[in-house]
Amino acid sequence: MRAGRLAGVPAVITAGGIGKANTAAAIAGVHALMRVQAVLQLGIGGAYPLTTGADPLDLGSVAIADSEYDLDLGVGLGAGWRGLESIGFASVATDPPTYNLFRCDPGVTATAASVTGSPVLPFATSDSVTSDASRAAWIAATTGARIESMEGAAAAQVCLALGLPFLEVRAISNEVGVRDKRLWQVHEGIAAAAGAALTALPSLSTP
């Protein structure tokens, strides 16, 4: 963890690690120590197969999360899987209850999209990377998600519980379900996401 200023904004930087548990622990731990005012998560993600009427996403392009959908919490497996609403258990006891879908802060998201020129899209999170095209197509059709992450839903959930504005910026490194890493653009995606995050950071600052 390092504290300083980025883009003229006081900031604390931490590498949360892979997956939802690491992300939740990192955000809660930093907030307990530093009492941050907002959270910006940056990273890379996979693009789900196109659904009807959707615009294609190029590798290396940047998108901002409108929302995150938790693909792990629920009941059942495969095509029979259903989210928490089907069993009446909430992730966060908001009013109305929050189940699998977590909205990102609309104000900072809109501002970040404007200054970066990036589209605002629905994301989804799973601790396990989707391994095949048919599963990827099912997730896209069922949830409407365009981008897969492994941490975003956890960050959004923790920020909701702590009352912190949340902004998520990711670059497309691969197509979901394509396991040949020779076709991925990890380094290019990281560079693109970092550049967009620096541009978006002032949207999280308070007067």
CATH number of the structural domain spanning residue 75: 3.40.50.1580
How far is CA 96 from each of CA 93, 167, 199, rounded to the nearest angstrom?
A: 8, 22, 34
What tokens does 93 get?
């006891």
| Domain, as residue range, for 175 | 2-204
The span from the CA of 166 to the CA of 109, in Å, is 8
Q: 141 near 51, Cβ under 8 Å? A: yes
Q: Report the Cα 98 to chain-centroid distance in Å.
A: 17
Comparing 174 with 54, the larger pLDDT belongs to: 174
Comparing 199 with 78, the larger pLDDT belongs to: 199
pTM of the entire predicted model: 0.94
Residue 41 pLDDT greater than 60, yes or no? yes
Q: Collapse the DSSP code of 201 into the 3-class scheme (helix H, G, I; strand E, B; otherwise coil) and give the result.
A: helix
- Residue with the two structure tokens 């993600």: 45
pLDDT digits (tens, 9 = 90+) for 141-179: 999 999 999 999 999 999 999 999 999 999 999 999 988
Residue 207 pLDDT greater than 80, yes or no? no
User: How many domains are contained in the chain?
Assistant: 1
pLDDT-derived band of residue 22, with 50, 70 and 90 as boundaries? very high
Q: Looking at residue 53, what is its pLDDT?
A: 65
